[in-house]
């Protein structure tokens, strides 16, 4: 249950997708329609392809260079950066992660020229990752190029793709929301090792793990933070046993539960989400 993190695809919010252009379906109609499909015609695909192969990659750190060759990352074929795969030929992606076989675009009734698939990142279905889109492009380039994909024109990227060295445990299989092990409850983990990403997140996980351990030693009940708070949502994410392919996650609005009412103004929406979280946190603290 110890993983070497060398590739992660971008994640977008479901709410920001253009529902008139994308569709749920599984190939050949088999099984559950678990994937969101973004169909492209030939013109759309070629525009995306040309921008992708000419996009600017992120600079390498010295400790990452050992994973590169002249042609790109020295990684397994299944973890190859999508921009490196694209440079192998114009149709390479269409026979790989963008293959359109077994899918029909309901707008046209025909098989698309290429299809980008999105897979749910969390149980709530509020976050989706771009299947096969691990990448080493600069974040700004990811936003520019991946927004050319049908249905992602106005997509909100809550995490961009990364390829770098990062060792972490498979927390959904091992940890409780209090950052201690399920099978050995007196052993706590904190920081990036747990799959939280970022300085604030790592520090917060350490504070919460310390608080949880102190309460356990004092014989007090465990603290359960509301999932409407950022740390509560993050601890829930890294300990969610339903997660199949776990990748590290940092704080973002996408992991928080939606408001009961739809708010179109994003600034107002985030303000209301923050105020809800602060109010719920105050209530939780009173019960400690």
- Give the CATH number for residue 178: 3.50.50.60
Judged against a pLDDT cut of 80, whether residue 92 lies above it is answered with: yes
Domain closes at, from 116, 137, 159: 159
Q: What is the mean pLDDT of the chain?
A: 90
- pTM of model > 0.85: no
Judged against a pLDDT cut of 90, whether residue 110 lies above it is answered with: yes
Is the domain of 273 the same as that of 144? no
Is the domain of 180 the same as that of 134? no
Q: How confident is the model at residue 73 (pLDDT cuts 50, 70, 90)?
A: very low
Judged against a pLDDT cut of 70, whether residue 179 lies above it is answered with: yes
Judged against a pLDDT cut of 90, whether residue 60 lies above it is answered with: no
Lowest mean pLDDT among 61-65, 145-149, 224-228: 61-65
Q: Are 83 and 163 in contact (CB under 8 A)?
A: no
Tokens of residue 278, six digits: 């602060």
Which pairing describes strands 157-159 and 11-13: parallel, antiparallel, or unpaired? antiparallel
Is the domain of 146 the same as that of 173? no
Q: Which residue has the higher pLDDT, 64 or 197?
A: 197
Domain closes at, from 105, 137, 159: 159
Q: How confident is the model at residue 26 (pLDDT cuts 50, 70, 90)?
A: confident
Tell me the mean pLDDT in the region 136-163: 95
Number of domains forming the structure of the chain: 2
CA distance 234 to 253: 10
Tell me the mean pLDDT in the region 193-218: 95
Tell me the mean pLDDT in the region 40-50: 97
Is the domain of 143 the same as that of 256? no
Is the domain of 113 the same as that of 217? no
Neighbours of 76 (CB within 10 A): 9
Radius of gyration of the chain (CA): 21
Is the domain of 99 the same as that of 117? yes
Is the domain of 155 the same as that of 175? no
CATH number at residue 51: 2.40.30
Q: Are 269 and 257 in contact (CB under 8 A)?
A: no
Q: What's the domain range around 248?
A: 167-286
Tell me the mean pLDDT in the region 199-216: 96
Is the domain of 232 the same as that of 132? no
CA distance 272 to 191: 29
Collapsing DSSP states into helix, strand and coil, what is residue 45? helix
pLDDT at 255: 92
Is the domain of 175 the same as that of 34? no
Domain closes at, from 159, 180, 204: 159
pLDDT at 163: 81
């Amino acid at each position: 249950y110890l993983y070497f993190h060398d590739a992660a695809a971008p994640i977008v919010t479901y709410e920001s997708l253009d529902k008139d252009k994308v569709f749920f379906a599984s190939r050949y109609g088999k099984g559950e329609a678990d994937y969101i499909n973004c169909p492209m015609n030939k013109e759309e695909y070629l525009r995306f392809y040309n921008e992708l192969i000419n996009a600017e990659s992120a600079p390498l750190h010295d400790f990452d260079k050992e994973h590169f060759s002249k042609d790109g990352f020295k990684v397994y074929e299944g973890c190859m950066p999508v921009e490196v795969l694209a440079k192998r030929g114009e149709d390479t992606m269409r026979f790989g992660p963008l293959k359109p076989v077994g899918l029909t675009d309901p707008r046209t009734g025909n098989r698309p020229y290429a299809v980008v698939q999105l897979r749910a990142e969390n149980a709530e279905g509020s976050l989706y990752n771009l299947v096969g889109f691990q990448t080493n492009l600069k974040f700004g380039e990811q936003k520019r190029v991946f927004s050319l994909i049908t249905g992602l024109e106005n997509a909100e990227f809550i995490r961009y793709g990364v390829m770098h060295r990062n060792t972490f445990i498979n927390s959904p299989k091992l940890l409780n929301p209090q950052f201690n092990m399920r099978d050995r409850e007196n052993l706590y983990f904190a920081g990036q090792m747990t799959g939280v990403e970022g300085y604030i997140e790592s520090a917060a996980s350490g504070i919460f793990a310390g608080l949880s351990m102190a309460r356990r030693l004092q014989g007090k009940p465990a603290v359960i933070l509301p999932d409407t708070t950022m740390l509560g949502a993050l601890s829930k994410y890294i300990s969610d046993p339903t997660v199949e392919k776990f990748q590290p996650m940092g704080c973002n609005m996408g992991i928080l539960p939606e408001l009961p009412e739809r708010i179109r103004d994003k600034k107002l929406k985030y303000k209301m989400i923050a105020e809800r979280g602060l109010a719920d946190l105050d209530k939780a603290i009173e019960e400690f």
